[in-house]
Structures are given as C-alpha cells and as structure tokens.
Structure 1
Amino acid sequence: MKLDLELDSTVDELIEQFHSAPEIVSKAIARSLRKLSRFAERRVLRELARQQNITQKVLKSLGRVRVSLYKPGDRASKHYSLVIWIGALDIPAHYLGKPVPSKTGVRTGRHFWEGAFLMQPVNATHPMVFKRRDDWQHKFQRSKKSGRMMWMGLPLEKKEVAIWHSASDVLRKLEPVLLDRFATLMEQELNYVFNIES
C-alpha cells in the first residue's frame, strides 16, 4: 500500500513566481522536500503505532514504513515525487514483544491473546503465538509424505495483528496534512534563502 504524492503543479507555480532566481528556488524546494519526507515518516509511524497499539520501534524494525523522495529524472518522472509505502501484511504476534505465557493466554507487548499458547514450529527459530480454532475441521487432502488421500490438518491459527485498515486510514488522512506542511516549509525555506542566505 502506498501514497504517491505528485507535487509538480505546486512546485511549477513556485518556480514561475520566482523565475528570476531559479537556482535559489530549486535549492529551497530540495530542502523543503527533504524536510517533508522526514516529517511524513515520523507522522506515519506515530499514527500507525497509535492506532495499532504497537511501538514505533517495532514498526521500524520490521521495515513496515518507507518514505522515498524522487527528484526529476528519477523513476522516469519529470517532477518531484514523494512516495510513502506501508507494508500492510498482518504482523505476527511474536514480533510485538517478548511472548509471556500465563494461565489464561499470552501477552506480547501491549497485546493480550486470550486462550492462546506458545509453540515453536519445527522450521522456526523461536516460539510463536497460536490459538485453537473454534470452527476447525479436518480436510480431506493428499499427504505430501505418503501421497495418499487422508483427513488431516491442525486446529491451530497463528495470532496476528491486522494492519491494512489502519494503514489505509493513515494514508487517507495524511495527504492534505502533507500538502499544508509542504506549503509551510516552502514559505520558511524561501524566506531563508532570500532574506538570510542572500
């Protein structure tokens, strides 16, 4: 899931207004966009962490939020482009903090999974949080080992935190905020280059 913010019309208008000093304006634009990309990353991490009740550190360590700034010529584009990408696959419970089992379930970070337990699958390096499924039934399928058709399957599901709806909500609310922030940053940067640097 990503938000691709095209800033071409806004940037072109600014260059047109200050056509007598295009180098100064392009320097101000570059600075504003760098600051905007850092602002966008902080904002997305904070809002997503708040909505999901997860720490920002976890989201960062999983690489779930990435903000890229592209200049004219990058990605075959003629304009500046700010791309915000959020990995929207569900986050397994064992990534949210150290799993702590109790009599009634398992706690990972700020989440509690009632009726869950820890189990380490054969191919895993650490225990994961599982829970018995209420609606489970055996499936009649072919065994990979023997090749025979048989009733098989485990009545377990790995516990995960869904992130898709929060991510789409965060991106939807962020777009107007970014455009306002960009206007503010451009004003500050143009003021700086024309009144302080020159």
Structure 2
Amino acid sequence: MAASAGPEIERLIALLSKLPGLGPRSARRATLALLKRRDQLLGPLADALAAARDRVKTCGVCGALDTTDPCAVCNDQSRDQTLICVVEDVGALWAMERAGAFRGRYHVLGGLLSALDGVGPEALRVRELVQRSTGGSVREVILALPATVDGQTTAHYLAERLIPSGAAVTSLARGVPVGGDLDWLDDGTIAQALRARRPA
C-alpha cells in the first residue's frame, strides 16, 4: 500500500482481506469502492456491522445465528419438531432454508471431525445433538454434511452416537444434480449416483 494511504485505510484493507474470498487485492478494491461511496455504502455498512455485533447471538437450542434466542426457526411452531437436520455450519443452514424443502428443526455442529486439524467430538456440538434426539420426541435425524472425508467421518460418528436415541438416522442423497450433464460430472459423483439409484 502506498505511504499516502494513511493508517485508517490500511487497517480497513487489512481487516477486509481476512474475510473469506477476499485477498489483499480484492480488499483494496472493496476499500476504494467503500470510500468513493461513503454515504451510500460505507456509512450504512458501518451501521449494519455495529448492529450485528450488538444484536446477533447464537441460538441456545440449535446453534444458528439470530437476534433472538431461541432463534426464529426454533420458535416456529409450524415446523416439524420430530425432524432434526444436522449441518456443519450456519451457512449450510441458510442454504437449506433457501431451498425451502425442509420444514423441520436444525442442529448446527460448528464444524467437522478432523484428525489432521485436531478437531475432536468435544469441539463440536455433539453432546447437545444427542440430548435433543433422546427421549422419543425426535423420529428422524438427517445428516446434511459435506461429501468429504471429514464430512463422512463425522456422519459415521454421529450415526453411532445416535443409535441409543431410537431416532432414524438418514443422510442426504448424493449424485447427479438437477440439470446436470453426465459428461461434466466427476467419477465419484457418477459412482455415488449409481449406488443411490431408485425406481423411476
């Protein structure tokens, strides 16, 4: 950064560059755009960040982020309380909600088991999931975890831990995406789609 930028601008660039998907160059461009449009972008963004810092909290039931605790999903009595969908993080929960196909409750793990990164069960919200699933009020736990080694390891571990609950434990189907062309799919996706085939 040029010496004429000033410490305030350098600090803004440094903070923005820590966000996912933004490196130093993207952070410089974003900073410049914000500074050029202070009234339309920078001021409202600063206000929104301050409001989020002060008002957003983690739901004590499912682990989602909201301004209320319990969150809006946990408070929604029209949702099926006998279904729990387990997701890695809040971003995955938001993706499920965007799809609009699931009307049960969620459980945010807060990550995945990873021996390489030193993440064990105690670092995740596993105990809370087992407690929520025990007692007979939950009939199915859906494991909506990534199709990665860590995701599958976590799913297997959770399935074992949930056996005593009596709830059915299922996973999302994997395979050919809607509108997908077989020629563009990787071998693993095609193999998984063949294994998960169903009557037409």
Structure with bigger strand share is 1
Higher relative contact order (CA 8 A, sep 6+): 1
Q: TM-score range by the shorter chain?
A: under 0.3
TM-score, length-scaled by structure 1: 0.24
Larger radius of gyration: 1
